[in-house]
Chain A
Amino acid sequence: MTTQVAQSPSERVRQKLAGNARFWIGATILGVTFLIAAFAPLLAPYQLGNADLLERLCSPHAGHWLGCDLEGEDVLSIMLYGARVSLYVAFLTVLLSMTIGTVVGLISGYWRGWVDLVIMRLVDIFMAFPGILLALTLTAIMGPSLFTIIFAISVTGWTSTARLVRGQVLSIREREFVQASRALGAQSGRLIRKHIFPSILTPLIVHASFSLSSVIIVEAGLSFLGFGARDSVLTWGGLLGQASQVEVDLAPHLALIPGAAIFILVVGLNFLGDALRDALDPKS
């Protein structure tokens, strides 16, 4: 007689992730990017701020493996230090926009009625500005800085989280375990904290990985258009912004290298998101 041992949900998720090639590819790409960012001072061949004007826009050669930028700075060093800023901007923006979106979505879905109506119209208004339109205008009006970029993308990026959370809350608040807790006298704050919020964590984690990739693309897009941060080390997008100021055949490495890094990181995050969605979805 064989006995089947029931797996706990966390074991099942771990097993699904371990057998998913996309998870390992995504996790490796993100892990390597983190390591590069953490050890940038040790890995970078040059300290930033030591521009060599004679080497401006030079192509890759033995002295500068990835060439030089508009100021004569080593592109490899900028890429290594820039990984820190790019990841910092991406994670902080996602944290901020998802916090706003989660709070708004919880309020909207839990209290429903006119609160929900007003909030959802507000979401519709923000979503009526497609793509990077609003973030671009806000960044331009407020002036290009790291804070502005994080603020502008967060202010316009919370809506998708709010919609996702609201949808989840609307369904979870009707489930038996929430109703039972309410019948036992639990207050709204406790219901949200102890029952509803933990139940929406799974879709939020998946959403976070996709949000990270879209924030990285938006930040790079803003920088490419010339509205990137000017008060910090160049981000990968900032290097692309330099590329847009010169003829593409004059310094192709300025567009190709940071573009390739952004592409690889975004593919990795999308793989990670796909794998997490498959593993965390109880139906799959």
Chain B
Amino acid sequence: MLSFILKRIGSLIPVCLGVLLVVVGMIHFVPGDPVDIILGDYATLADKNALRHELGLDETVIKQTGRYIMHAAQGDLGHSLIYQKSVNELIMERLPATIRLAIASLLVALLISIPLGIIASVNAGTKIDFAAMSFAVSGVAIPTFWLGPLLILLFAVELGWLPVSEMGSWKSYLLPAFSMGIPLAAALSRITRNSMLDTLKEDFVRTARAKGCSESRVILSHAFRNASLPLVTVVGLQFGVLMTGAIITEKVFDWPGLGSLLVEGINTRDYPVVQGCLLFFSGSYLLVNLLTDIAYSLVDPRIRLST
């Protein structure tokens, strides 16, 4: 087990280095001088040189890249040009809102997808199955930037049941969580159904029925327990989707999370913030994937043996 974990961590090192190079390189190799973009056309040469020096852009690319990587490896993501705070501080301020929204969305997705997937699999080939899978196919295609305003118009503007935007009480979580959770629920319900259909054909399910277990016990305790394994992986992989989905959802609902920080950073040309957010998003995505792999290998030892 330990060798599996070490091997998996080892394979992440070149990827992390590559991610760092892409993040730093984007500023250098993409057309356009960041100083010109930040200060605009009317800044004096002295101002431009001062900012170039402040950003360290007057050094060689190799030196800049090396310095950024050294700092990032120590957890220092630089200093914001606009907020006059460290990027770490800014990320830590905004992170809780994004995580709370991601967890709420995941909860919504699981609460919808698990019962729906189970019901569809038990009634495979019937109208119930068709209805559930129609939701799955169309739900995946619903863009958050459309579902969000739809939910706002219906539940906040027309019915007045929920607040329009901004983080506050538990009620303020409902609309953004549903607008991010519904497309995810659609994808997960399809996976739950397919996994359940495979498991329901297994011998141990037939044995459980033959032993006289009630149908609900066979489905929930025997079949679903085994069918839930693929869900673990997919939920882990969907974490990245939730984190970046937050960029659009946070814009729709005026949510003060990391996604908003990234968009604000881009709009104000605050490159240290943009680089910090990119690194944080991709770093946490890689970490969650690693943890998912480890969790999965704990549950299914064949994963360890095949690597």
Do A and B belong to a common assembly? yes
Residues of chain A touching chain B, judged by Cβ–Cβ distance below 8 Å, are 121-122, 124-126, 128-134, 136-138, 140-143, 213, 217, 220-221, 224-227, 240, 243-244, 248-249, 252, 255-256, 259-260, 262-263, 266-267, 270-271, 274
Taking CB atoms, residues of chain B closer than 8 Å to A121 are: 14-15, 18
Report the Cα distance A224→B148, complex, angstroms: 12
Q: Top 5 closest A-B pairs, CB basis?
A: A259-B146, A130-B240, A131-B244, A125-B18, A266-B141
Given A220-B143, A263-B142, are A125 and B137 neighbors across the interface (CB < 8 Å)? no
In B4-45, the 8 Å CB interface with A consists of 14-15, 18-19, 22, 26-27, 30-32, 34, 37
Q: How far is the CB of B22 from chain A (nearest CB, A)?
A: 6
Asked whether, in the complex, the Cβ of B243 is within 8 Å of the Cβ of A130, the reply is: yes
Taking CB atoms, residues of chain B closer than 8 Å to A226 are: 263, 267
Q: Is B256 on the interface with A (CB-CB < 8 A)?
A: no
Report the Cα distance A142→B267, complex, angstroms: 13
Asked whether, in the complex, the Cβ of B241 is within 8 Å of the Cβ of A249, the reply is: no
A141's contact among B14, B32, B244, B245, by CB below 8 Å, is which? B32
Given A121-B15, A125-B22, are A138 and B142 neighbors across the interface (CB < 8 Å)? no
Asked whether, in the complex, the Cβ of B247 is within 8 Å of the Cβ of A248, the reply is: no
Report the Cα distance A2→B243, complex, angstroms: 61
Taking CB atoms, residues of chain A closer than 8 Å to B141 are: 213, 263, 266-267, 270
Asked whether, in the complex, the Cβ of B15 is within 8 Å of the Cβ of A141, the reply is: no
Taking CB atoms, residues of chain B closer than 8 Å to A224 are: 145, 248, 251
A137's contact among B164, B252, B278, by CB below 8 Å, is which? B278
Q: Is B73 on the interface with A (CB-CB < 8 A)?
A: no
Residues of chain B touching chain A, judged by Cβ–Cβ distance below 8 Å, are 14-15, 18-19, 22, 26-27, 30-32, 34, 37, 137-138, 140-146, 149-150, 152-153, 157, 164, 240-241, 243-245, 247-248, 251-252, 262-263, 266-267, 274, 278, 281-282, 285-286
Given A122-B18, A252-B149, A274-B137, are A129 and B251 neighbors across the interface (CB < 8 Å)? no
Q: How far is the CB of A125 from chain B (nearest CB, A)?
A: 3
Asked whether, in the complex, the Cβ of B140 is within 8 Å of the Cβ of A270, the reply is: yes
Given A136-B247, A225-B247, are A131 and B241 neighbors across the interface (CB < 8 Å)? yes
Given A225-B248, A259-B145, A267-B137, are A136 and B266 neighbors across the interface (CB < 8 Å)? yes
Taking CB atoms, residues of chain A closer than 8 Å to B263 are: 225-226
Number of A-B contacts (CB under 8 A): 133
Taking CB atoms, residues of chain A closer than 8 Å to B18 are: 121-122, 124-125, 128
Taking CB atoms, residues of chain B closer than 8 Å to A221 are: 143-145, 248
B143's contact among A125, A128, A217, by CB below 8 Å, is which? A217
B282's contact among A122, A133, A240, A243, by CB below 8 Å, is which? A133
Main DSSP-derived SS at the B contact region:
helix
Report the Cα distance A124→B289, complex, angstroms: 12
Report the Cα distance A50→B143, complex, angstroms: 30
Taking CB atoms, residues of chain B closer than 8 Å to A244 are: 145, 251-252
Report the Cα distance A255→B151, complex, angstroms: 12
Given A121-B14, A259-B143, are A129 and B247 neighbors across the interface (CB < 8 Å)? no
Nearest CB in chain B to that of A129: its residue: B282
Given A248-B152, A255-B149, are A267 and B138 neighbors across the interface (CB < 8 Å)? yes
Q: How far is the CB of B261 from chain A (nearest CB, A)?
A: 13
Taking CB atoms, residues of chain B closer than 8 Å to A255 are: 145-146, 149-150
Report the Cα distance A271→B263, complex, angstroms: 33
Asked whether, in the complex, the Cβ of B153 is within 8 Å of the Cβ of A128, the reply is: no
Report the Cα distance A134→B142, complex, angstroms: 22
Asked whether, in the complex, the Cβ of A137 is within 8 Å of the Cβ of B274, the reply is: yes
Asked whether, in the complex, the Cβ of A124 is within 8 Å of the Cβ of B15, the reply is: yes
Taking CB atoms, residues of chain B closer than 8 Å to A122 are: 18
Asked whether, in the complex, the Cβ of B15 is within 8 Å of the Cβ of A130, the reply is: no
Taking CB atoms, residues of chain A closer than 8 Å to B244 are: 130-133
Asked whether, in the complex, the Cβ of A141 is within 8 Å of the Cβ of B30, the reply is: yes
Nearest CB in chain B to that of A122: its residue: B18
A130's contact among B149, B150, B157, B282, by CB below 8 Å, is which? B282
Report the Cα distance A245→B18, complex, angstroms: 36
Taking CB atoms, residues of chain A closer than 8 Å to B140 are: 270
- B34, B141, B152, B248: most-surrounded residue (chain A CB, <10 A): B141
Report the Cα distance A92→B138, complex, angstroms: 25
> Can you list 10 A-B pairs with a CB-CB distance of less than 8 A?
A125-B15, A125-B22, A132-B244, A133-B244, A225-B251, A255-B150, A256-B153, A266-B141, A267-B137, A267-B138
Asked whether, in the complex, the Cβ of A260 is within 8 Å of the Cβ of B286, the reply is: no
Report the Cα distance A60→B74, complex, angstroms: 56
Asked whether, in the complex, the Cβ of B286 is within 8 Å of the Cβ of A128, the reply is: yes
Q: How far is the CB of A116 from chain B (nearest CB, A)?
A: 14
Q: How far is the CB of A262 from chain B (nearest CB, A)?
A: 6
Taking CB atoms, residues of chain A closer than 8 Å to B31 are: 142
Asked whether, in the complex, the Cβ of B153 is within 8 Å of the Cβ of A248, the reply is: yes
Taking CB atoms, residues of chain A closer than 8 Å to B251 are: 224-225, 244
